[in-house]
C-alpha cells in the first residue's frame, strides 16, 4: 500500500486486493466523507495508524439495489437487432466499474450497470452457436446454429 497524500485527496482502492493494493483513482476529502457515510467505502490505515486511503466495500444488498432477473433461454428478434446495431449504440460499453455503479436515471433512481444493448451483445457472444432444435422435415431434430443466425454489425 502506498501512503496517501496528506493534502485534500485520498487513494481509493478496489474491494478485491488479492493481487495487491492498486489505486483505482484519487478522491477528494468531501467525496471520501460522502462515500463513507453511504457505506460504499471503508477507511484503510497503515500499521502506524496513519491514513492509507479508502477501500471500496463489496456491494451489499440495499433497498435501492435492482433485483436480479432470470435470464432468457433464447435470443429474441429484438436482441438480434440490438446486436446488429439497428437499435443504436450502447451507452455503457467502455465505462469503468465506478461509472457503471454510479449510473442514475434523470429521476435519481439507480440504473443497472449495463444497458440492454450491451446485455444483448454479450448474450449473442456467449451463444455463438446456439443448440437450437429445428425439424428437418422428416420428423428428425437437427441441432446447431441453423435455426438462429446472428451477425454483429462491423465497427
Structure confidence at residue 65 (pLDDT) = 54
The count of domains in the chain is 2
Residue 95 resides in a domain:
yes
Beta-carbon contacts of 153 under 8 Å, excluding residues fewer than 6 positions away, are: 83, 84, 85, 86
Structural domain range at position 19: 9-56
Question: Which among 58, 117, 73, 109 is positioned nearest to 92, based on CA atoms?
Answer: 117
62 in any annotated domain? no
In a domain, 50, yes or no: yes
Q: Cell digits for 104? A: 442514475
Mean pLDDT, each 10-residue run in order, the chain (155 residues): 59 84 88 89 89 81 53 74 87 88 88 88 72 57 50 47
pLDDT at 149: 47
- Looking at residue 139, its pLDDT comes to 64
Question: Quick one: pLDDT at residue 84?
Answer: 84
Question: Which pLDDT belongs to residue 19?
Answer: 76
Which strands make up the sheet holding 25-28, listed edge to edge? 25-28, 9-13, 51-56, 41-45
Amino acid at each position: 500500500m502506498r501512503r496517501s497524500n496528506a493534502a485534500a485527496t485520498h487513494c481509493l482502492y478496489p474491494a478485491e486486493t488479492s493481487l495487491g493494493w492498486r489505486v483505482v483513482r484519487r478522491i477528494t476529502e468531501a467525496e471520501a466523507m460522502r462515500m463513507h457515510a453511504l457505506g460504499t467505502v471503508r477507511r484503510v490505515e497503515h500499521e502506524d495508524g496513519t491514513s492509507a486511503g479508502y477501500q471500496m466495500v463489496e456491494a451489499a444488498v440495499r433497498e435501492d439495489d435492482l433485483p436480479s432477473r432470470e435470464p432468457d433461454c433464447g435470443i429474441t428478434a429484438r436482441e438480434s437487432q440490438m446486436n446488429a446495431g439497428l437499435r443504436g449504440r450502447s451507452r455503457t460499453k467502455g465505462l469503468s466499474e465506478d461509472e457503471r455503479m454510479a449510473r442514475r436515471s434523470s429521476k435519481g433512481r439507480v440504473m443497472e450497470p449495463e444497458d440492454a444493448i450491451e446485455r444483448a451483445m454479450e448474450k449473442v457472444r456467449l451463444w455463438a452457436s446456439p443448440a437450437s432444435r429445428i425439424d428437418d422435415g422428416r420428423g428428425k431434430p437437427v441441432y446447431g446454429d441453423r435455426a438462429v443466425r446472428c451477425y454483429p454489425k462491423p465497427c
